[in-house]
């Protein structure tokens, strides 16, 4: 009961007059009436003075009323749903699979809205890692381009009508014994596959065709030939001491990149006294992200890969005493191959050769090599195979054939877009017209869906019930985290309905799991965990039984003359499934640092020879297709080759993606029945069209001889852990003695008062692969606005964390030499690459803090540099004075502004906003806060439980998202924290620009390359020669 | 002014500061003519052009306030460019006025009397133009008052006394107020003259008000001169402090190319240099248009040109010193910043600065050039341009490539930014033109003290008029 206070003695006594007055709105008498009636009862004849008073009052009142902010209605819960506490987040274990990416995730929901996706650490496949596309998937849920209702022949219809019409059509097709084809991308859901089976029972003439835009079907074919197993194996990169990759971007795109990047990083970490790391050799033409991370990287054009592999096979076969095959000459690569063969052979059973070329002969050679190296059973597991790429190019070709002959009665297309992704997309689009009943399950009217009669929009994975089996025996569940936003229905649910099954899909999954998967374990428990992993079967050794001589001959025949092109997927847009996601479009490509576009990457030498300049529009002809696109001069691209990213040039994907870049899929070539992401005989000619400005976030590519990313070789590191991390010591006179001191130990300033915590971060440059997952994670966590292509061209991207990418330069000075600054700006034609994530370094002596005239940026007692948006007037002095240039200014209003028509300009897109983080106003500076909202939440949780914050309990968005765990967040005050353990002992720790003595709380660990210093030197000499 | 300040022996062999054997009356007539008469067509043309330009600037400013600083060419790396360049440039221009009115007053340089009034007016208008930039370069200009240490209801919020920007707020507001009071004080006797000559009651009333009841008594003069001395004393340190503090914006920062201890003297010299150039530009036009050749004589021009040679050379030495120190320090960032200035992508700005500021003023060693009105005018324009480039070079070429090459960018202005700058030039000239029509452009009362006495003329007839 609240205490009652009397307003006065009158109230206590409760006299009649008081009671009467109390009922009035204003207890005291207001003299308004007198003013009006003083002199005259009739207001219309008020005297001049009164008139002026009224006038003054009404003007003031009107202007005051006009000042009021518009009212936004907040609707409270009348009946609060169980489990939903406003202000507290709920987490659900789920899995995300869109036919291309798979990840076991935890979904954070606030007030019933999913706002963030994190990796589920319980999964032994993805191990809590994510990638940029997984991080961005939550925004794709709130995509305005998604269909609101089912569409029949271009008009919205109800599900009842749709079902009736389709049932009729299917019936008529079935009765005419017409072929029914279900075309989908890889389905890893056992229940969905079961549903398709059920559907097949009802319509016996049904066949399921699996088609992947970026296909690995040759691997399956080769495994069948070599080992009789029609599967893609699981790879254990973590068990490999030597990794050789041929045109294989396994760190971000190939099959199961989240899994592989984690495994790969395990072998590269040099924490806690570890002195060994894997050696990674890459053979490729275009500089991929994986290639950028390689210890050694060699240029091979795509059509030569077969010959290189055949040579490698021979080199190993001669060591193993096996028969050799015919191998063409590989010129100067012979030495590299023999070196690699030595390394591989010494690490027999602990090595791994992977190849991303979709060609059966080439894959057979790879299998042969791995089999000679006895890698099956150790680094390659063919028994517990991987399901993530099931596409079969031959089936797809057959389907095309059937369709164009008019044999297909009904075509059900789920989760794939062949009109856009197939090199024969146009023919496919025409062939759809010959199908009696074409049904698309696309969530939007994309290229293929637009050609179909019916669109039955599918749920987003975050709205769906589903299951997944990415690898044999490794199950995970998908559960809805929000009621479907629109009138959509899941593909499997639709099939079940049309198959006449009574149950809904959720029950179907539960039933299927109880019967076949769970083996007595409780469904609810598994659902809570999200993961169910049974006993792993033994991984056996395999010997290749393929005819390698024939394979080598076939692979050798691939070699073509002329310029060759490779097609690759970008970290952000990938195969184009989520192309309409502005977070992914604005994520800079890790290698080129270009956003919002695809382009033709050419070698610097070719650019010089043909006088192509960055941004020139060229016409590219290959495969009978001709396209115009801008040129990017890409160091690391092999001369005589070029590369283009797929996933761009959409029509019908939505406002964000449509018209961005060109569609490069038509350049894909059918070789030996398999779709190769490469083309030969490319002709490039410069057009007279105006140059375009590419939206790049980094226009300068070299380190200019500065010790920004410190690196060393493994040999040096083993000898001296501080190798490459030499510090400039400062001579100081202490008393009479002259002492050499580290800049960090010297201080002109008083240190700040410390609270209970002192937060900081460590970034291991040896683990960081530069994938950009942290960038998207940060964008999602901190409501970072998307600014669009034009603003990025003006260098105004808002990302709080960025990945700096530096190329080495031929002019890089040796120690204590000064180089030619002009020449140092030019990267080598085939440079070494380093990545460095940079966010606010949270300096203890922050230069930004002293210069702000209004104290809008200050130091917290927990070591952080804080930004007080409300106080900021926007002088930008702090940004000028920040040596790391991590501060971002709100040049415009990025919300509710039609000029920035991305997710913050519509109510649907705004649902993704994190309510714990304020959306910054125009004219305000912003920057990394070290996810202060998470720190506060974590501290509160601990406080409520009356304990200290545990190490690892709180994590920043970037650190949590990182697939390679390159970022470690922690508390310096916690002596046992992982962060503290990382700071000095391994000798690799350093502060960025530590000579400035701004004393950052973020530190880096040097990069170590597994190259022999002499061999490395020799190689570069050779190149020059 | 006759006693304390101006009581001074002057050698008769010196050339007279005013030509044309003026009588007191003639002088009053000459100087009051622009105020009392009708404006000529030159004035109207100039006024229309400058006020149109000013309007354009206002529109551009409104666009900026409406849309955001994004309508300028700035980016994540270059947070200041034309805005602060213009600010420093205008503040520098203002310096001549204070120097002439305060320091030259204390040094008894009586030649300053022909020019101090307009130089001081120029100071005030230049400071107004300058002040616009820091006010409107902020992201949220409507909150600019937060930069003042005002008691507030926001809790214990206070300004940051560590921030050089806050020092700017104090330095510039002090400078502006002192300059304004000093200028107005000097105007009082002249305003009284106009009041006394007024032929219309309105004019009499207005100038009566403006002249604060000046009677011209000995007591009035005594107080006038004492206050003038006190204000001169107050202003003198300001000449040095204002640009010193402006230079702290850069000098106290961590940016290579900004973090330089030479900045305070170098900025002050540069400010005087550019201020004198602007005074020359203005006066050469004004003396022609208003017919004041006999009051602003070749001797004045020559003396000012000598100041320009001096300060221009100081600035030149400063440029070279910066380079030397960048190399001598052995700091790679510093060394790079300066190499980049001269040979980087903004080399043209650097070499424009060097040519305009270091080479052209050296032409004033030739007497023929420094006594030629036309040559002086041209060179003064060069110096104005050069000093603008100096600030651009310091600001933009330093921050566009600082520590981490990953963030290096280029900067180019938008037409909005250019518009605002051109608009301030319009504002400056509009103010000056209005000033020339309502206030005497030459300090009449003061100038009368430097006239050679009529008795002198007779006494030394032989000497003076051979």
Q: Which residue has the tokens 């509009």?
A: B430
Distance of CA A973 to the CA centre of its chain: 33
What's the mean pLDDT in B431-442?
86
Residues in chain B: 466
pLDDT at A1021: 43
Q: Note the pLDDT of residue B453.
A: 58
Nearest residue in chain B measured CA to CA from A874: B139
**Confidence class for position B3, pLDDT limits 50, 70, 90:** very low
Least confident stretch, A99-103, A298-302, A337-341, A748-752: A748-752
**CA of A994 vs chain B CAs: smallest distance (Å):** 12
Contacts by residues A6-15 (CB-CB < 8 Å, ≥ 24 positions apart):
none
* A48 Cβ contact list (under 8 Å, min separation 6): none
Confidence of residue B291 (pLDDT cuts 50, 70, 90): confident
Helix axes B201-210, B164-197, angle to 10 degrees: 140
Residue B12 binned pLDDT confidence (cut-offs 50, 70, 90): low
Listed range (A538-542, A959-963, B33-37, B166-170) with the worst mean pLDDT: B33-37
Comparing CA positions, the residue from A352, A343, A130 lying closest to residue A236 is A352
Q: Which pLDDT belongs to residue A536?
A: 79
Kindly indicate the confidence band of residue A77, based on its pLDDT and cuts at 50, 70 and 90.
confident
What is the per-residue pLDDT across A347-358, written as a single tens digit (0 to 9) for each? 888 899 999 888
Q: Which of A9-18, A531-540, B43-52 has the lowest mean pLDDT?
A: A9-18
A836 neighbourhood in chain B, CB within 8 Å: 406
What DSSP element (H or E) covers A653?
none
Half-sphere exposure (CA, 13 Å, Cβ side) for A873?
Answer: 24
Tokens of B93: 């221009």
Q: Mind listing the pLDDT tens digit for each residue in A930-943? A: 999 999 999 999 99
Q: Is-contact B261 B413, C-beta < 8 A?
A: no
Q: Which residue would you say has higher pLDDT here, A69 or B212?
A: B212
Query: Measured between alpha carbons, how far is A489 from A483 in angstroms, rounded to an integer?
Result: 11
8 Å CB contact of B159 and A855: yes
DSSP string, B234-291: HHHHHHHHHHHHHHHHHHTS-STTT--TTHHHHHHHHHHHHHHHHHHHHHHHHHHHTT
Please report the pLDDT score of residue A974 as a whole number: 86
Q: Scanning every residue of chain A, which has its alpha carbon at the shortest distance from the alpha carbon of B144? A: A873
pLDDT value for A205 = 86
- Which DSSP letter does residue A697 get? S
The shortest C-alpha distance from A2 to chain B (Å) reads 29
- Find chain B residues with C-beta within 8 A of A847's C-beta: 253-254
**Closest by Cα among A669, A740, A904, A883 to A142:** A904
Q: What per-residue confidence (pLDDT) applies to A245?
A: 92
User: Each residue of A371-393: b (16+ CB within 10 Å) or e?
Assistant: bbbbbbbbbbbbbbbbbbbbbbb
Q: Does A250 score more than 60 pLDDT?
A: yes
- In the block, tokens 């060591």 appear at A319
Q: Which residues contact B240 (CB under 8 A, 6 or more apart)?
A: B268
**Apex CA B253: angle with CA B248 and CA B255, to 5°?**
130
pLDDT digits (tens, 9 = 90+) for A697-751: 998 898 888 888 988 888 888 888 888 888 777 788 877 888 887 777 777 777 7
Q: Is the pLDDT of residue A614 over 60?
A: yes
Tokens at B375, concatenated: 């040559």
**A1004 pLDDT more than 70:** yes
Q: Which of B252, B253, B336 sits opposite A821 (nearest CB)?
A: B336
A619 alpha-carbon distance from chain centroid: 30
What local confidence, expressed as pLDDT, does residue A69 receive? Answer: 63
Q: Which residues, including other chains, have CB under 8 Å from residue B271's CB and lie 6 or more apart?
A: B91, B92, B93, B94, B95, B242, B243
Does residue B414 sit at the A interface (CB-CB below 8 Å)?
A: no
B-chain residues near A804 (CB < 8 A): 404, 406
Q: Would the CB atoms of B163 and A852 count as touching at under 8 Å?
A: yes
A361-412: per-residue pLDDT in tens? 888 889 888 888 888 888 888 888 888 888 888 888 888 888 888 888 888 9
User: Contact, A789 vs A695, CB < 8 A?
Assistant: yes
Nearest of A299, A330, A296, A298 to residue A313 by alpha carbon: A330
Mean pLDDT computed over A18-31: 66
Give B-chain residues touching A890 at CB under 8 angstroms: 68, 139
Listed residue (B416, B457, B459) closest to B16, CA to CA: B457
In angstroms, the first-to-last Cα distance of chain B is: 30
Per the structure block, which two tokens stand in for A911? Answer: 């649902």
The residue with greater pLDDT, A36 or A62, is: A62
Percent of chain B with pLDDT over 70: 91
Measured in residues, chain A has a length of 1025
* B251: nearest CA partner in chain A: A881
A245 strand-pairing partners: A282, A354
| pLDDT tens string A779-788 | 999 999 999 9
Residues contacting A546, CB < 8 A, separation 6+: A222, A225, A226, A364, A367, A368
Q: Tens digit of pLDDT for each residue in A436-487? A: 888 999 988 888 888 888 999 999 999 999 999 998 888 999 999 888 888 8
Q: Output A985 or A584, whichever has higher pLDDT.
A: A584
How far CA A791 is from CA of A174, A853, A901, in Å, comes to: 55, 28, 13
Q: Can you tell me the distance from the alpha carbon of A536 to that of B135, in angstroms, rounded to the nearest whole number?
A: 69
A349: closest CA of chain B, how far (Å): 41
Distance (Å, whole) CA A19 – CA A10: 9
B21 or B296: whose pLDDT is higher?
B296
- The confidence score (pLDDT) of residue B190 equals 87
- In this complex, is the C-beta atom of B334 within 8 Å of any C-beta atom belonging to chain A? no
Q: What is the DSSP string of A467-515?
A: EEEEETTEEEEE--SS--SSS---HHHHHHHHTT-SS-HHHHHHHHIII
| CA distances (Å), origin A408, targets A412, A955, B346, B401 | 11, 53, 66, 63
Contacts of A855 in chain B (CB under 8 A): 157-160
Query: What pLDDT score was predicted for residue A925?
Result: 93
Interatomic CA distance for residues B22 and B30, integer angstroms: 10
Q: Which residue has the higher pLDDT, B228 or B293?
A: B228
Q: Flag if A854 and B159 touch (Cβ within 8 Å).
A: yes
Helix (H) or strand (E) holding A564: strand A563-568
Distances (CA, A) of B30 to B121, B431, B440: 19, 22, 10
The complex scores an ipTM of 0.89
Contact at CB, B70 and A892, closer than 8 angstroms: yes
**A1012 closest CA partner among A764, A706, A719, A726:** A719
Q: How many Cβ pairs closer than 8 A exist between chain A and B?
A: 170
Q: Specify the DSSP element, H or E, that contains A803.
A: strand A802-807
CA-wise closest residue to A764 among A444, A1002, A508, A1023: A1002
Q: Is residue A625 within 8 Å of A666, Cβ to Cβ?
A: yes
End-to-end CA, chain A: 90
Cβ burial, residue B145 (10 Å; 0-12/13-18/19+): exposed
What number is the average pLDDT over the span B277-294?
82
Contacting residues of B for A788, CB less than 8 Å apart: none
Q: Which of A873, A880, A992 sits opposite B253 (nearest CB)?
A: A880
Nearest in space to A615 (alpha carbons), one of A687, A688, A693: A693
User: CB B140 to CB A872 under 8 A?
Assistant: yes
Q: Which H or E run contains A64?
A: helix A48-67
Contact A880 B339 (CB under 8 A): no
Q: Does an H or E element contain A284, and which?
A: strand A279-284
pLDDT score of A317 more than 80: yes
pLDDT score of A1016 more than 50:
no
pLDDT at B465: 45
A855 to B160: CB separation less than 8 angstroms, yes or no: yes
Instruction: Decide if B407 touches A, using CB distance below 8 A.
Output: yes
Secondary structure (3-state) at A668: coil
Contact residues, chain B, for A822 at CB < 8 Å: 343
Q: Cα–Cα distances in Å, from A374 out to A225, A296, A370, A793?
A: 18, 23, 6, 51
Q: Give yes or no for a contact between A97 and A896, defined as CB atoms under 8 angstroms apart.
A: no
Q: Tell me the pLDDT band of B2, cut-offs 50, 70 and 90.
A: very low
Average pLDDT over residues A306-324: 86
At A342, list the tokens.
Answer: 């030595």
What would the mean pLDDT of B47-75 be, rounded to a whole number?
92
Whole-number Å distance between alpha carbons of B251 and A669 = 61
- CB contacts, 8 Å: A993 with chain B: 403-404
Name the minimum distance, in Å, from the CA of B169 to any CA of chain A: 9
**Percent of chain A residues past pLDDT 90, beyond the cut:** 27
Find the CB nearest A885 among B80, B162, B404: B404
**Measured between CA atoms, how close is A851 to chain B, in angstroms?**
4
Residues 6+ apart with CB under 8 A from B335: A818, B326, B327, B329
Give B358 to chain A, closest Cα distance, Å.
26
Q: Name the minimum distance, in Å, from the CA of A815 to any CA of chain B.
A: 13
pLDDT of residue A48: 77
pTM above 0.90, yes or no: no
Whether A67 shows a pLDDT value over 70: the answer reads: no
CA-nearest residue to A868 within chain B is B157
B128 touching chain A per CB within 8 A: no
Q: Tokens in use for B132? A: 């616009």
Interface test with B, best of A696, A881, A884 (most B CBs within 10 A): A881
- Smallest Cβ–Cβ distance between B140 and the set A698, A851, A923 belongs to A923
Q: In the beta sheet, which residues pair with residue A1009? A: A713
Using the Cβ of B253 and the Cβ atoms of chain A, whether some distance falls under 8 Å is answered with yes
Q: Which of B68, B134, B336 sits opposite A922 (nearest CB)?
A: B68
In terms of pLDDT, which residue wins out, A161 or A62? Answer: A161
The secondary structure of A784-798 as a DSSP string is PPP-HHHHHHTT---
> Are A241 and A279 spatial neighbours (Cβ–Cβ below 8 Å)?
yes
How far, in whole angstroms, is CA A476 from its chain's centroid? 21
Averaged pLDDT of chain A: 86
Determine the pLDDT at residue B109: 72
The DSSP string of A872-909 is: -----HHHHT-TT---EE--S--SS-GGG-SGGGSHHH
Residue B119's pLDDT is what?
83
- What stretch of H or E contains A179? strand A179-184
Neighbours of B340 (CB within 10 A): 22
Please tell me which of A36-45, A972-981, B155-164 the model is most confident about, judged by mean pLDDT: A972-981
In this structure, what token pair is assigned to residue A118? 């994190």
More confident: A732 or B265 = B265
Residue B454 is predicted with a pLDDT of 53
A987-A992-A998-A1000 Cα dihedral, nearest 10 degrees = -70
Q: Could you count the other beta carbons within 10 Å of the beta carbon of residue A63?
A: 9
What is the nearest CA distance from A592 to chain B, expressed in angstroms? 12
Q: Which of A787, A771, A784 is nearest to A961 (CA)?
A: A771
Q: Do B79 and A993 touch (CB under 8 A)?
A: no
When CB atoms are compared, the residue of B139, B335, B402 closest to A883 is: B402
Q: In the structure encoding, which two tokens stand for residue A636, read together?
A: 């690391």
Partnered with residue A989 across adjacent β-strands are A1005
C-alpha to C-alpha distance for B57 and B428, rounded to whole angstroms: 12
């Amino acid at each position: 009961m609240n205490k009652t206070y009397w307003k006065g003695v009158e109230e206590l006594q409760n006299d009649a007059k008081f009671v009467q007055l109390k009922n009035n709105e204003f207890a005291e008498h207001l003299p308004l009436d007198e003013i009006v009636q003083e002199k005259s009862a009739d207001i219309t004849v008020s005297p001049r003075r009164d008139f002026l008073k009224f006038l003054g009052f009404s003007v003031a009142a009107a202007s005051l009323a006009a000042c009021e902010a518009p009212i936004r209605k907040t609707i409270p819960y009348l009946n609060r749903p169980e489990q939903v506490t406003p202000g507290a987040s709920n987490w659900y274990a789920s899995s995300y699979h869109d036919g291309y990416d798979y990840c076991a995730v935890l979904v954070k929901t606030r007030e019933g809205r999913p706002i963030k996706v994190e990796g589920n650490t319980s999964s032994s496949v993805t191990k809590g890692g994510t990638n940029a596309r997984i991080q961005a998937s939550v925004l794709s849920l709130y995509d305005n381009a998604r269909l609101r209702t089912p569409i029949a022949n271009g008009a919205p219809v109800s599900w009842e009508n749709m079902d009736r019409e389709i049932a009729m059509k299917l019936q008529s097709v079935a009765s005419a014994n017409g072929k029914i084809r279900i075309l989908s991308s890889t389905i890893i859901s056992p229940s969905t596959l079961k549903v398709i089976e059920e559907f097949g029972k009802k319509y016996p003439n049904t066949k399921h065709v699996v088609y992947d835009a970026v296909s690995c079907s040759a691997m399956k074919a080769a495994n069948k030939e070599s080992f009789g197993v029609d599967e893609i194996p699981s790879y254990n990169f973590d068990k490999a001491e030597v990794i050789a990759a041929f045109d294989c971007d396994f760190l971000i795109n190939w099959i199961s990149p989240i899994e592989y990047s984690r495994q790969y990083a395990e072998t590269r970490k040099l924490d806690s006294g570890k002195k060994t790391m894997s050696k990674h050799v890459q053979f490729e033409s275009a500089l991929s992200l994986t290639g950028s991370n390689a210890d050694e990287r060699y240029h091979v054009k795509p059509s030569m890969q077969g010959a290189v592999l055949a040579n490698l096979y021979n080199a190993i076969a001669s060591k193993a005493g096996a028969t050799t095959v015919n191998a063409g000459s590989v010129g100067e690569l012979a030495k590299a191959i023999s070196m690699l063969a030595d390394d591989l052979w010494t690490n027999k059973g602990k090595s791994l050769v992977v190849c991303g070329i979709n060609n059966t002969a080439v894959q057979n050679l790879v299998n042969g090599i791995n089999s000679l190296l006895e890698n099956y059973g150790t680094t390659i597991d063919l028994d517990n195979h991987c399901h993530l790429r099931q596409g079969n190019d031959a089936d797809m070709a057959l389907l095309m054939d059937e369709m164009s002959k008019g044999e297909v009665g009904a075509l059900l297309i789920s989760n794939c877009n062949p009109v856009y992704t197939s090199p024969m997309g146009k023919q496919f689009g025409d062939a759809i017209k010959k199908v009696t009943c074409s049904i698309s399950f696309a969530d939007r009217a994309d290229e293929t869906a637009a050609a179909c009669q019916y669109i039955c929009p599918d749920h987003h994975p975050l709205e769906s019930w589903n299951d997944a089996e990415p690898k044999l025996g490794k199950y995970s569940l998908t559960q809805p985290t929000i009621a479907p936003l629109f009138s959509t229905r899941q593909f499997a649910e639709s099939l079940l309905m049309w198959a006449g099954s009574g149950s809904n899909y959720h029950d179907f999954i539960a039933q299927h799991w109880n019967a076949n998967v769970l083996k007595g374990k409780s469904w609810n428990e598994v659902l809570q965990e999200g993961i169910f992993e049974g006993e792993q079967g033994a991984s056996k050794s395999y010997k290749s039984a393929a005819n390698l001589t024939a394979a080598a001959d076939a692979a050798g025949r691939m070699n073509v003359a002329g310029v060759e092109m490779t097609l690759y997927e970008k970290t952000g847009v990938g195969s184009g499934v989520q192309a309409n996601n502005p977070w992914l479009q604005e994520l800079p490509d890790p290698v080129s640092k270009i956003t919002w576009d695809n382009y033709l990457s050419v070698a610097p030498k070719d650019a010089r020879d043909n006088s192509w300049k960055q941004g020139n529009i060229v016409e590219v002809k290959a495969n009978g297709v001709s396209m115009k696109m801008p040129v990017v001069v890409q160091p690391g691209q092999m001369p005589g080759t070029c590369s283009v990213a797929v996933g761009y040039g959409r029509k019908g994907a939505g406002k964000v993606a449509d018209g961005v870049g060109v569609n490069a899929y038509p350049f894909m070539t059918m070789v030996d029945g398999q779709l190769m992401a490469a083309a030969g005989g490319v002709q490039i000619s410069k057009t007279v069209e105006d140059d375009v400005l590419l939206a790049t976030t980094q226009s300068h590519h070299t380190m200019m001889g500065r010790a920004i990313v410190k690196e060393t070789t493994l040999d040096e590191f083993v000898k001296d852990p501080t190798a490459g991390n030499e510090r400039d010591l400062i001579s100081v006179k202490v008393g009479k003695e002259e002492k050499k001191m580290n800049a960090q130990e010297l201080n002109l300033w008083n240190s700040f008062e410390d609270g209970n915590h002192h937060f900081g971060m460590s970034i291991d440059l040896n683990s960081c692969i530069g994938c950009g997952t942290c960038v998207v994670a940060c964008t999602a966590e901190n409501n970072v606005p998307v600014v669009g292509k034009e603003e990025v061209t003006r260098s105004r991207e808002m990302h709080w964390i960025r990945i700096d990418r530096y190329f080495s330069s031929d002019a890089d000075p040796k120690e204590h030499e000064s180089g030619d600054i002009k020449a140092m700006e030019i990267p080598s034609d085939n440079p070494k690459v380093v990545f460095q994530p940079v966010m606010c370094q949270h300096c203890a002596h922050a230069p930004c803090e002293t210069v702000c005239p209004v104290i809008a940026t200050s130091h917290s007692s927990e070591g952080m540099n804080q930004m007080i948006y409300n106080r900021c007037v926007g002088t930008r002095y702090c940004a000028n004075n920040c040596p790391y240039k991590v501060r971002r200014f709100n040049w415009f209003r990025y919300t509710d502004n039609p000029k920035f028509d991305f997710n913050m300009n519509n109510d649907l897109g705004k649902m993704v906003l994190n309510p714990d983080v304020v959306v910054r106003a125009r004219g305000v500076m912003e920057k990394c806060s070290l996810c202060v909202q998470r720190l506060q939440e974590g501290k509160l949780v601990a406080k409520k439980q009356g304990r200290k914050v545990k190490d690892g309990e709180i994590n920043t968005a970037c650190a949590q998202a990182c697939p390679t765990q390159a970022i470690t967040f922690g508390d310096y005050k916690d002596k046992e924290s992982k962060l503290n353990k990382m700071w000095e002992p391994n000798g690799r720790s350093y502060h960025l620009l530590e000579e400035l003595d701004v004393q950052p709380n973020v530190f880096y660990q040097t990069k170590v390359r597994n190259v022999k210093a002499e061999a490395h030197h020799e190689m570069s000499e050779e190149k020059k020669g | 002014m006759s006693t304390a300040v101006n009581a001074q022996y002057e050698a008769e062999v010196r050339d007279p500061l005013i030509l044309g054997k003026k009588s007191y009356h003639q002088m009053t007539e000459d100087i009051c003519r622009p105020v009392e008469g009708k404006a000529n067509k030159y004035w109207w043309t100039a006024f229309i052009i400058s006020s149109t330009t000013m309007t354009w600037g206002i529109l551009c400013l409104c666009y900026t306030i409406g849309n955001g600083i994004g309508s300028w060419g700035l980016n994540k790396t270059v947070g200041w460019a034309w805005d602060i360049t213009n600010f420093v440039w205008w503040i520098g221009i203002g310096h001549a006025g204070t120097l002439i009115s305060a320091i030259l007053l204390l040094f008894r340089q009586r030649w300053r009397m022909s020019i101090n009034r307009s130089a001081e007016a120029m100071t005030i208008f230049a400071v107004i133009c300058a002040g616009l930039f820091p006010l409107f370069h902020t992201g949220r200009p409507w909150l600019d008052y937060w930069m003042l240490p005002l008691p507030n209801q926001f809790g214990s919020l206070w300004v940051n006394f560590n921030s050089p920007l806050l020092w700017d707020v104090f330095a510039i507001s002090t400078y502006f107020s002192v300059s304004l009071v000093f200028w107005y004080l000097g105007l009082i006797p002249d305003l009284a003259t106009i009041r006394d000559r007024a032929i219309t009651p309105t004019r009499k009333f207005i100038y009566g008000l403006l002249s604060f009841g000046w009677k011209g008594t000995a007591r009035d003069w005594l107080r006038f001169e004492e206050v003038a001395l006190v204000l001169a004393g107050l202003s003198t340190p300001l000449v040095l402090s204002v640009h010193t503090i402006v230079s702290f914006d850069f000098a106290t920062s961590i940016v290579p190319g900004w973090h330089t201890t030479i900045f305070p003297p170098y900025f002050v010299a540069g400010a005087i240099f550019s201020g004198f150039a602007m005074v020359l530009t203005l006066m050469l036009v004004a003396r022609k248009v208003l017919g004041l050749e006999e009051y602003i004589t070749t001797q004045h021009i020559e003396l000012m040109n000598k100041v320009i040679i001096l300060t221009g050379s100081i600035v030149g030495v400063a440029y070279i010193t910066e380079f030397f120190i960048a190399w001598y320090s052995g700091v790679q960032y510093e060394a790079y910043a300066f190499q980049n200035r001269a040979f980087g992508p903004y080399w043209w700005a650097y070499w424009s600065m060097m040519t305009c500021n270091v080479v052209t003023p050296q032409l004033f060693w030739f007497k023929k050039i420094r006594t030629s009105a036309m040559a002086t005018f041209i060179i003064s324009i060069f110096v104005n341009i050069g000093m603008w480039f100096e600030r651009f070079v310091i600001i933009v070429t330093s921050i566009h490539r600082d520590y981490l090459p990953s963030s290096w960018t280029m900067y180019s202005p938008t037409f909005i930014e250019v518009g605002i700058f051109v608009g301030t030039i319009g504002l400056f000239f509009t103010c000056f033109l209005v000033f020339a029509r309502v206030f005497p452009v030459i300090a009449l009362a003061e100038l009368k003290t430097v006239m050679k006495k009529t008795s002198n003329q007779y006494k030394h007839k032989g000497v003076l008029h051979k």
